[in-house]
Amino acid sequence: MAEPERGTVVDERYRLDRKIGSGGMADVWLADDTELDRKVAIKILHDRFAQDAEFVERFQREAQAAAGLQHPNVVGIFDRGAFDGTFFIAMEYVDGPSMKDLVKGGMSPKDAIDFTRQILNAARFAHRKGIVHRDLKPQNVLIDDEGRARVADFGIARAGENSDITATGSVMGTAQYISPEQAQGKPTTPRSDIYSIGVILYEALTGRVPFEGDSAVAVALKQVSEAPRRPSAINPNVPPALDAVAMRALAKDPDARFKDADAFLKALDAAEKAPDTPRAQDTAAYAAVSPEGEADIPGEEEPYDDEEELERERRRRRWRWIVLALLAAGVAALVAFALTRPSHVAVPDVIGQDVGAATEILDGKGFAVAIKAVPSGAPRNQVVEQDPIPTDRGGGKAEEGSTVTLSVSSGPAIVAVPDVAGLSLADATTRLEKAGFKVTTREEFSITVPKGRAIATEPAAGTQLSTSQVVTVLVSRGTNQVEVPGVVGLDDQAALAALQNAGLSGILVQRDSTEPEGQVLSQSPGAGKLVARGSQVTIFASTGAITVPDVIGQARKAAVTALKKAGFTPAVTEETTDDPSQVSRVISVFPPAGSRGRRGDTVTISVGVASPTTTTTPTP
């Protein structure tokens, strides 16, 4: 098969525009569906797979099965077929970023739970139809302009128990996201998808995948043999309950994972309701989330038992005497300490002073001084904090000779501007502020980033910048599109003005027509279409030119009628003729037949009249 290129028409219907993705199995093109006038994504199978008859048979069967998945969180499949020696799938085009673009650097636990829920809803729907995806990853989760997660590539998924698109012994999927059983070439089940969704949740919470390596084989080996770090060990903001959910989904043994998507969803609901910072004694309960998605909720009381309560009362009485004895000993110790303890003095306030002067003041009051340099917008060497808090600012007194720690400004920190592309404005602002920057915003149009999401920053992500400087977040205003006005029937100049007022540019093309000169006959794109602001619209206007009809030989009345109908003004002259067949018939036309003229131009016809009869008188 020749390499497809822009303008190629697939299956006499889909005109390729540009390549928007490429993977191990296929290339993905943005295309125009010429029959339904819509944008679609076309996945064209690579040649090496197209030559495998068994693979192609399963590919077609599974694409047919996936075409039945009509769900809000699934990218719909419209069509499939053969093309130039290979095969293709036509699917819904989602104009938005992938989840991979959003998880760079991690996202908030709330957003991570929300997107994971939507992916689980899609997986649950597919699993109930007997379809296992087998290659779930953030790159296959697209975010539409409503912020909704849409799972793609169900067209190459596994339909039923007898389908398995892979050569014997090979592995289908992406190494960082496949389950341990996939890495070992074992059969896949819905719990294999549960593991992959667990990896997506892990990456959303931490900004990284559980396992990385120098090669796909090295990563696959880690999937089988190594335990991942808990998400909270990488991102302390991850609550223990959500930690437990992610680790349950990443269990090596499929039977130890959530039994299905419903159980996973149930566990997410419980984790979202759990406190962000539970008591230490609650940790085990949260870690004990089961494959059914259930966990022991801490704080539930045991039923009351009279016998146990009597036994507890007897124990309390025995301990009461022991406590009284200990209290007596404690009182004696406190008296001894009061007689020997060091004196307490007020802690002076040195915040805002130069470190040298602050040290001198504290030393004069009998305190030791420890200095800790911290990045700050305050002048260099200025004290910005102290511990203990000064007595005048609400702090207590401190022991004479104890240490006061001074936080001294080392000037603004120089840090890399974090990448916030694809995040909501709130999340982007939070990430930048955590890095120490002040944030401003500016809105811009974008054809790729959904409205309200961050396009980029100024300065760009990765720039080493002082935290005293301001970072501007460029926020998407959405696509800058306008509706094409209808200009058919207008004068060409009025039509061009209407297009300009709509934010478009017009191109004038003239066509011969009997319509009045300059009248717009048609336009492309048509009225009501949404196009990018500044796009060109072609209008076709009448030249007003008409052609002189051939009326030679016609009767006078018929010729006059034909000329009027063609748009001309007829003029009639008479011409004598000796030919009886030309009498009352058109002998000549000027301008001649086939000439071009304007509506209302005069065309002169000559109509034959008989010559006068000559009479000869005989001589007597």
Distance CA 90, CA 74 (A): 14
Instruction: Give CA–CA dist 268/293, Å, rounded.
Output: 8
Clarify whether 492 is annotated catalytic.
Answer: no
Dist. CA 525–CA 486, nearest whole Å: 10
How far is the C-alpha of 45 from the C-alpha of 155, rounded, in Å? 12
**Rounded-to-integer distance, Cα 387 and Cα 370, Å:** 10
Burial of 229 (0-12, 13-18, 19+ CB in 10 A): middle
Peptide bond into 580 cis (omega under 30): no
Helices (H), 213-305: 216-225, 231-234, 240-249, 261-273, 283-287
Burial of 455 (0-12, 13-18, 19+ CB in 10 A): buried
Sign of the CA dihedral with 370 first, then 372, 373, and 376 last: negative
| Helix, strand, coil % in the chain, rounded to nearest 5 | 30, 25, 40
CB-count burial class (<10 Å; 0-12, 13-18, 19+) for 374: middle
CA-to-CA distance for 525 and 530, rounded, in angstroms? 9
- Among 135, 243, 282, 492, the active-site one is 135
DSSP 105: T
Is-contact 267 245, C-beta < 8 A? yes
Both structure tokens of 194: 């549960």
Q: Long-range contact list for 352-357, CB < 8 A, 24+ apart? A: 352/382, 352/383, 353/382, 353/383, 354/381, 354/382, 354/383, 355/381, 355/382, 355/383, 355/406, 355/408, 356/381
Tokens of 492: 């060409």
- Tell me which residues are annotated as active site: 135
